[in-house]
Copies of this chain bind each other. A is one copy, B any other.
Amino acid sequence: MELKEAKDKFIHTWGTLATQWGINRTMAQIHSLLLLSPKSMNADEIMADLQISRGNVNMNLRDLMDWGLIYKQLLPGERKEYFIAEKDIWKVAKQIAKERRRREIGPLIDAMADLKEGIKPDTAEKEEFLKIVNDISTVTVFADTTLTSLLKADENWLISNFIKVFNR
């Protein structure tokens, strides 16, 4: 397998897998392209490389910046904007986890809180309903708290700690 082939495979795999977990294909492809690129790239280069439209590139570069996975780089003497990916994979993983926590767990916590407030347990049925809402609330808040504290921890502590957990 040659390098070009391997890179293409990497980009393709990343793109395909991403769709399975709610990230769109193009965003994942641009991300992997930049991850593998030794130098920063501009919109035209990305368009040419992945054969996609300017609007699509622009949109997804924006999303990737929102996710904190790439940075804009202004090169002196260059009009165009260049983009470079965060190469520290631990940071990448943290960013992804952080963003997914915000998107997936946050709204659930809010929704459960609303329901808890809105219903008073004055019948057996309502009590039963509130039991489930409360259970979900507990688990969700727990997951959120756990993830948050993990994300605050630094890499080395994280690894050593979980080697312990794993060896239990």
Interface SS majority for chain A: helix
Q: How many protomers of this protein does the assembly include?
A: 2
Cβ–Cβ < 8 Å partners of A9 in chain B: 114-115
Assembly CA distance A125 to B6 (angstroms): 12
C-alpha gap A87/B107 in the complex (Å): 21
| Pair A3/B111 contact, Cβ less than 8 Å | no
Min CB distance A96 to B, Å, is 10
Which A82-99 residues have a C-beta within 8 angstroms of B?
87, 89-90, 92-93
* Number of residues from A at the complex interface, CB < 8 A: 53
Tell me which residues across on chain B come within 8 A of A168, comparing CB atoms: 149, 153
B159 with A129: CB separation less than 8 A: no
